Amino acid sequence: MLFKLVTTLSLLLWICKADDVLKNNGQFPRNFMFGAASSAYQIEGAWNEDGKGLSTWDHFVRRTPSPVVDNTTGDVACDSYRRWKEDVKLVADLGVQSYRFSISWPRILPSGYDKHVNEKGLEFYKQLVQEIIKHGMVPVATIFHWDLPQFLFDNGLDWTNEELINVFVRYARFVIKNLPEVGYWITINEPRVHCRRSYGDGLHAPGVSDDGIGDYKCTYNILKAHAAVYRMYKREFPRYKAKMGMVVDCQWYEPASNRPEDVEAAERHYQFECGMYLHPIFQGDWPPLVKYRVAERSRREGYTKSRLPSFTAEEVKFMRGTQDFLGVNHYSTTSVSNVQEASYNETRFAHDIRVSINRKLNWEVSFLGWGVVPTGVRRLLNLFKERYNDPDVMFTEIGVADDGTTLRDDIRIRYFRSYFCNILEAMQVDKVSVVGIIPWSAMDSFEWHRGYEARFGFYAIDFENDPQLLRRPKMSVNYYKSIVESKRLHCNTAVSVWNDKEIL
Ligand SMILES: *[C@@H]1O[C@H](CO)[C@@H](O)[C@H](O)[C@H]1NC(C)=O
Ligand SMILES: *[C@@H]1O[C@H](CO)[C@@H](O)[C@H](O)[C@H]1NC(C)=O
């Protein structure tokens, strides 16, 4: 008995060793903003109703064979175009301070151009914003969350075409002018995923495969479009209080070993996925590593110039500083190792980035196979602070998928607890500035080419068997609510700690 007690005590002592305990007090600041997120195509449905124009996604999901793994579409999705009031209330029931949604470009401007307005579409978003405010929440609105008007695409105006920039600025001006009560504007959601999937590997609408070329053209244009909207907003709407930024998707890229080539590979991975979008905005121009690598491979592959378009000095200046906060969608951590240079007879983004990604055996993995690695978020925050001059960071998405078979989503509770504790640790111990956390997602929804397979929501929907599309709270609703209402959680035990002495 005594022996048992001593072992238990020493085990406890071992767990509580100074090094292994988070040092934060579990308290988020009073004005910290929590929220929940969604996007138009993923929840609205009503794909061809009330004068809405078609988007590239409306077309894409009608291809045969279906480009979506479970052959589904967003035609109905969560039917939120009709149930928006109920949905705003469900989000408000979480106790949060904000709701992030996106505006469907073709619902407001069916052709994409601002010369023809669909009044019913505009009215929908005006009412939505009013309803969010009525519930005491801040509307966080994404201007472009991947649903490009099909009419523009049919006329050659996609993100690989520089001419789309002006059309986009006009659309952005129109929604900003008409929705003056939005509290945060997000110009573009995850330009990396959008450019890679839509113009690189073709897994997303409009399904263009132009690997290592189309994706870079898209990146170049979309970054300039973001900057143009930001400059327009600051120039034309000086009285508006809303902050504006772009939202990037950044994971943590952990070297697979301490070998220099793996450490370099992890840095390459970071720069090609994350730095490519943040460097032009926070520091100016492409990250040097990316610029030189693509130029060098392009040359050896026989191109007369780099596949990565270059910015002029004026463009560099125009883009630098076009952010009021750093919006980041973060989910997971990958373990990165070096691979050999591929031969120069083919052009592929994978050859440019030249890494192999994996996960460590001791990581918990979610339904999608993504590692649940809470220490990664703290490392990422420290890197942002160091590289981008201590920006205000807002998590515009963060979350974990389940398979939709149960409302007992323990993994989500574990995920939020451990990730939030590491975010708090970064805030209090490392002095990183984090202003908000808006988890993905308010409710289960259409997850692009994965269809309804992966469920990220606080509220469950049984898309297959329930024509009523009833929203049912998962267990994580109460857990999240308790954190949001007290701005407090317990971080003293059972949370992985970033230990500098070892690789994860
Ligand atoms: C999707 O449709 C194809 C035929 O077009 C079929 O072979 C496949 O089994 C379907 N997949 C699912 C998950 O229903
Ligand atoms: C390029 O070269 C490699 C190795 O020499 C070869 O395996 C591959 O099939 C080639 N690819 C093309 C597209 O020719």
What are 337-347's pLDDT values in tens digits?
A: 999 999 999 99
Least confident of 19-23, 327-331, 356-360: 19-23
Return the closest-CA partner of residue 80 out of 61, 60, 101.
101
- CA of residue 306 to ligand 2 center, whole Å: 21
Tens digits of residue pLDDT in 171-207: 999 999 999 999 999 999 999 999 999 999 999 999 9
The C-alpha angle 169, 274, 373, rounded to 5 degrees, equals 130
Nearest alpha carbon to residue 430 among 467, 398, 390, 470: 390
Q: Which atom of ligand 2 is nearest to the CA of 346?
A: 13
Segment 291-310 shows an average pLDDT of: 98
Q: How far is the CA of 70 from the centre of ligand 1 (A)?
A: 7
Q: Is the CB of 71 under 6 A from ligand 1?
A: yes
Q: Are 173 and 165 in contact (CB under 8 A)?
A: no
Q: Specify the pLDDT at position 501.
A: 43
What band does 497 get if pLDDT is binned at 50, 70 and 90?
Answer: low
As a whole number of angstroms, the distance between CA 51 and CA 403 comes to 35
Cα(69) to centroid(ligand 1), Å: 8
Rounded CA gap, 105 and 66, in Å?
24
pLDDT for the residue 8: 44
Residues 6+ apart with CB under 8 A from 47: 54, 58, 73, 74, 75
Contact 439, 399 (CB under 8 A): yes
pLDDT tens profile 312-337: 999 999 999 999 999 999 999 999 99
Give the model confidence (pLDDT) of 123-141 as tens digits. Answer: 999 999 999 999 999 999 9
Q: Which residue carries 């905005």 as its tokens?
A: 281
Dist CA 428 CA 75 (whole Å)? 45
Instruction: Report the SS3 class of residue 455.
Output: strand
Q: How far from chain centre, in Å, is Cα 503?
A: 26
Atom in ligand 1 nearest the alpha carbon of residue 70? 13
Write the DSSP assignment of 83-145 as a string of letters: HHHHHHHHHHHTT-SEEEEE--HHHHSTTSSTTS--HHHHHHHHHHHHHHHHTT-EEEEEEES
Distance between Cα 384 and ligand 2 center (Å)? 39
71 CA → ligand 1 middle, Å: 6
Q: 211-232, pLDDT tens digit by residue? A: 999 999 999 999 999 999 999 9
> Given this model, what pLDDT does residue 503 score?
41
> Tokens for 394?
């807002």
Q: Which of 2-6, 73-77, 252-256, 409-413 has the lowest average pLDDT?
A: 2-6
Q: From atom 4 of ligand 2, which residue's Cα is the shortest distance away? A: 343
The answer on pLDDT for 1 being more than 50 is: no
Mean pLDDT for 159-177 is 98
**Residue 17 in this model has a pLDDT that exceeds 50:** no
Task: Give the position, in ligand 2's atom list, of the atom nearest the Cα of 345.
Answer: 1
Strand pairing report for 243-249 and 364-365? unpaired
Residue whose CB lies within 8 A of the most ligand 1 atoms, among 71, 452, 453, 463, for a mutation test? 71
3 state SS of 327 = strand
- Residue 308 CA: distances (Å) to CA of 216, 241, 278, 281, 298: 6, 36, 16, 17, 9
Distance CA 198, CA 262 (A): 29
Name the pLDDT band for 492 (thresholds 50, 70, 90): confident
**What is the arithmetic mean of pLDDT over 472-492?**
95
Q: Are 213 and 347 in contact (CB under 8 A)?
A: yes
Residue range 239-252: average pLDDT?
98
Residue 499 has pLDDT above 80, yes or no: no
Give the pLDDT mean for 427-437. Answer: 98
Q: Is 343 in the pocket of ligand 2 (CB under 6 A)?
A: yes
Distance 345 CA to ligand 2 centre (A): 6
Compute, in angstroms, the gap from residue 273 CA to the centroid of ligand 2: 26
CB of 346 closer than 6 A to ligand 2?
yes
Instruction: Look at ligand 2, atom 13, and give the residue with the nearest C-alpha.
Output: 346
Higher pLDDT, 263 or 500: 263
- Closest atom of ligand 1 relative to the 65 alpha carbon: 5
Distance CA 482, CA 399 (A): 17
Ligand sitting nearest the alpha carbon of 451: 1
The two three-digit tokens of residue 364, written as one number: 């918990």
Ligand nearest to the CA of 68: 1
> b/e for 146-158, b at 16 or more Cβ within 10 A?
bbbbbbbbeeebb
- Verify whether ligand 1 is closer than 6 Å to residue 499 (CB atom): no
Whether 187 and 396 have beta carbons less than 8 Å apart is answered as no
| Token output for 34 | 């929590």
**Cβ(65) to ligand 1 under 6 A?**
yes
| Topology of the domain covering 2-498 | TIM Barrel (3.20.20)
Q: What is the mean pLDDT of the chain?
A: 94
- Our answer on whether the CB atom of 341 is closer than 6 Å to any ligand 2 atom is no
468 lines ligand 2 (CB under 6 A): no
Q: Where are the domains of the chain?
A: 2-498
Looking at the annotation, which residues are catalytic? 190, 397
Task: Decide: 70 in ligand 1 pocket, CB within 6 A.
Answer: yes
Phi, psi of 373 (to 5 degrees): -130, 85
- What's the pLDDT tens digit per position in 36-47? 999 999 999 999
pLDDT at 20: 65
pTM of the model: 0.94
Cis peptide before 441 (omega within 30 of 0): yes
